[in-house]
Amino acid sequence: MTRGLSLLVLAVCVMLVAGVVLGRAFSPGGPAVGAAARMVVDARQQVTPIGDIVGAVINENFWSADDPVHPNWHGNYLGRTIARVRDLSPSNGRKFAVRFGQTLTDGQWGKDGYDWQAAFDPKRWDTSVDEFLDYVGLVGGEPYLGVNFGSRTAREAGGLVAYVNGTDPNNQFVQMRIQRGREEPYNVRHWILGFEQYGQWVTGNLANRAFDFANPQAQHGGDPEWFGKPSSNPQFFAARAAQFVREMRSASTIPIEISTPFNNWDLTYWGGPEDSVKAIAGGLGDAVDGLALRFYPASPVHGETDADLLGRPETLADKLDMLRTLLLREEQTDKKLAISDVEYNNRYGGTTDQTHQLVNGLFVADTLRVLASKGVSSAFYFAISAPAGNGSGYSYFEQGDVERAMPTYLATQLVARHLGAEVVASDVSRSRVATADGGKSGSFSYPTLTVLPSLSSDRKTLYLVVINKHLMYDQQTEVNLQGVRVSGQAQIVTLTGLSPQAQAGEVSVSESIRGIGNSFTYSFPAHSVTGLVIPLSVPVP
């Protein structure tokens, strides 16, 4: 009796220590070991169409194969990623979204930003818009282009749109494109008005630095109409952004969709949720099509443990719901603003070991779940790659080596291959619950078992992406599929590793085939992402 009690105490201690090691603030929570969670999917209830949520930002230079100065660099730098990125095309027929532009486009901390005309000089260490669009074509992607709002002018932004989309042979920028060997326009539909103009780290937010557009002593002359009117004031930003929109739309021969920088994911900038919605959506809503957000939750404010990171997609979902509610109050016309251009990764301003680990892959998969289920129109992981030998976590590839796919790449690939055209209704109950420190924001709890269910466009295939964010326990789950007739066997793919800290080369992707019915039980491994392809005997009505 004494020996048995001692062993029991020892086992409990080991489990508690494991909880500290794996997630520090991670609390086992939820029902007892062996109790089944319950997952109900109703394919008859459509939630929302799925947009361009599978995408990433370019953060590395690219040279075309016919580059006159460095033809041998095509297979190096970004060119080495072409096959890998092509393999991220979603199963729903949408293209992998590729965005050209980030905070460096506007300039950082008052420095100059991207000069799209100067980038055509083959001797410059810049990727030109032609080279970017060449890369997008090679990966079979959908291009998204940002303009320099922070250190350039609306006229220059209009010139870029004319170069890319214009057809008037008398337009100087159309002539420039033709002279460079491209007769037909590129017809890029998606554009964004600079990046993170609500933050002091971006050129244009203030009016006293070398290249801030609002600085009367700006080195390149600034933007005289807007001297003394920096983007730190959201009303000034909205008024100037409207000017950009007019120039850009008039320069394009096809309709274009334009998003505007709006806020951080926690909605704390430009006066907070209500003030920023009133200033940006209220002042600019009729002119633009979408509001852009940034989602980098790991921080002292929101927590930095594994448990914190894995819970923040749920917090993002709540913030998106809040934003939708505020927009409904503010919108004065039938036009509905999209939530678009959500850029995301683990943390802002630098990466840590966590960015390289399986836990970040789980975060990416669960973030994609939230983006899809909340109807976000476009989203971008930061970033496709870092240069070879660079250990940054802002990449799909460890040390920039495309043969060493990081967990974030594998998680994105799994979701992309299990993505239908529309999200359908679901409910998960009896999931284990985790509690995290939450940093300065305070502790919070969240369910650790989540699902993204979607239907193919022909409504003959049901896809499930299930994320078990629990760091220690498998979760036995009763799955009930409603409104469908399951036919044949399900194809199952699982991404996991020996621990949440597993990195490239330490994680595994396994595949299996299993016969299932409309109801079945499945054990989802701890710290895993599982994709199921379920064929249906008849299309869902």
| Residues 171, 177, 179, 184, CA torsion sign | negative
Tokens of 163: 């170069």
- 242 three-state secondary structure: helix
CA 351 remoteness from chain centre: 16
Residue with tokens 């289920």: 373
Residues sharing a CB contact under 8 Å with residue 275, sequence separation 6 or more, in sequence order = 234
Task: Provide the angle, in degrees to the nearest 10, between the axes of the packed helices 154-165 and 234-251.
Answer: 30
Strands of the sheet containing 449-455, edge to edge, are: 507-515, 489-497, 528-535, 461-468, 449-455, 422-429, 37-49, 475-482, 519-524
Q: Are 50 and 418 in contact (CB under 8 A)?
A: no
Count CB neighbours of 520 within 10 A: 15
DSSP state of 185: -
CA angle in degrees (0–180, nearest 5) for 375-101-187: 75
Domains, the chain, ranges and CATH? 36-47+423-535 (2.60.40.1180), 50-416 (3.20.20.80)
Distance CA 452, CA 351 (A): 28
Cα(282)–Cα(276) distance, rounded to whole angstroms?
Answer: 9
**Cβ proximity of 473 and 527 under 8 Å:** no
| Angle between helical axes of 129-139 and 154-165 (0-180°, round to 10) | 50
Instruction: Name the E strands within 382-460.
Output: 422-429, 433-436, 444-447, 449-455
Element (H, E) at 320: helix 306-330
* SS3 category, 382: coil
pTM of the model: 0.93
Inter-residue contact 95 to 139 (CB < 8 Å): no
Amino acid 452: pLDDT: 99
> For residue 40, what are its two tokens?
């109900």
Q: How many residues does the chain have?
A: 541
What are the residue ranges in the chain where pLDDT is below 70?
1-35, 332-333
- Position 69 scores a pLDDT of 86
